Amino acid sequence: MAVFRLPKPCQSLKIRNQESSKVGHMFNDKSILITGGTGSFGKQYVKTLLERYQPKRLIIYSRDELKQFDMEQDFRQKCMRYFIGDVRDRDRLIQAMNGVDYVIHAAALKQVPAAEYNPMECIKTNIHGAENVIHAALANNVEKVIALSTDKAASPINLYGATKLVSDKLFVAANNLASGHKARFSAVRYGNVVGSRGSVVPFFKKCIEEGCDHLPITDARMTRFWITLQQGVDFVLKNFERMHGGEIFVPKIPSLNVVDLARAMAPNLPHKIIGIRPGEKLHEVMCPADDAHLTLEFADHYVIKPTIQFSGYVDFAVSKLGERGHPVEQGFEFHSGKNSRFLSIEEIVEFNHLAGIS
């Protein structure tokens, strides 16, 4: 199974430049809006776009003025725009998307325990917010929209995953609403991002820096899909070119065991089992077995086709880039505990290094 290759640290810049030369110029002289653009993904996406393209406008849409102020200190280019707004506010979204060509919907309430304790807030942002993004894109005749999903949306057991599953369904079905519009909608689903805010790597790092005498482990059997932030950004960029509209794109990425992660970060620290948090899974799934009849395998990714029919025939087995996929076997699932590719401790160390975590 082909997966994202892990570049050597000294090769990473060269590889990124090679990738840049392959993805064309579709973002040049275009207006791009990122909801939740001050987050980890948004910042890296902006950095990558500015390095590789010459966008006409690059709009950060988010609700935290301090984060926008901080981000503005790093990104002062003339094409940058900063809009204060919430995805719960449809009118403000419609205003912000005026003249926009492409939208990346990254805004979400993502913390699993927080969603369990504040369910309606999660629903308002992740579901009602998704609906607002769709209507604003249609109102402005936006060309393409990609929504960021999560592995927790597949066979969800927590509220966060359930709201993101609903969001995925909304963005897929939006292609039927787009009759008479050029807008097309797809979603990208991937696993845990190395070093993202609120994730286990910064938590372990903080424990180590504070001199803890052990690392807390929820369950020694726990596995997770693993991807670097740059890999996630590159995957989303590529999918703008390959999408028809209606696909859920899933990258072929490796898994790791949480105990191996702890050993990679602190080889000499003992572990203490503390139990699974509310709404947490032992393993994650990105392509459920129940969707096997809809899943196509490509060289380095999967596509989950829509469950509904669109007006007009779309051959999802051939991407807009001419890539060809084939149906997976009946009962197939892309499962973090059954993955054919697991990271070794040495590779985990290298992933952390690429993510800027020593």
Which residues have a catalytic role annotated?
152
Do residues 183 and 137 make contact, with C-beta atoms less than 8 angstroms apart? yes
**Which of these, 68, 139, 137, lies nearest to 104 by C-alpha position?**
137
Centre a 10 Å sphere on the Cβ of residue 342 and count the other Cβ atoms it contains.
Answer: 16
Residue 206 CA to residue 86 CA, distance in Å, equals: 31
Per-residue tokens: 323:
């890539």
Amino acid in position 261? L
Contact indicator for 261, 355 with CB cutoff of 8 Å:
no
Exposed/middle/buried for 104, CB within 10 Å: 0-12, 13-18, 19+? buried
**Spatial separation of the C-alpha atoms in residues 37 and 214, rounded to whole Å:** 35
Task: Return the C-alpha torsion angle 199, 200, 204, 209, nearest 10.
Answer: 0
> Cα(33)–Cα(27) distance, rounded to whole angstroms?
12
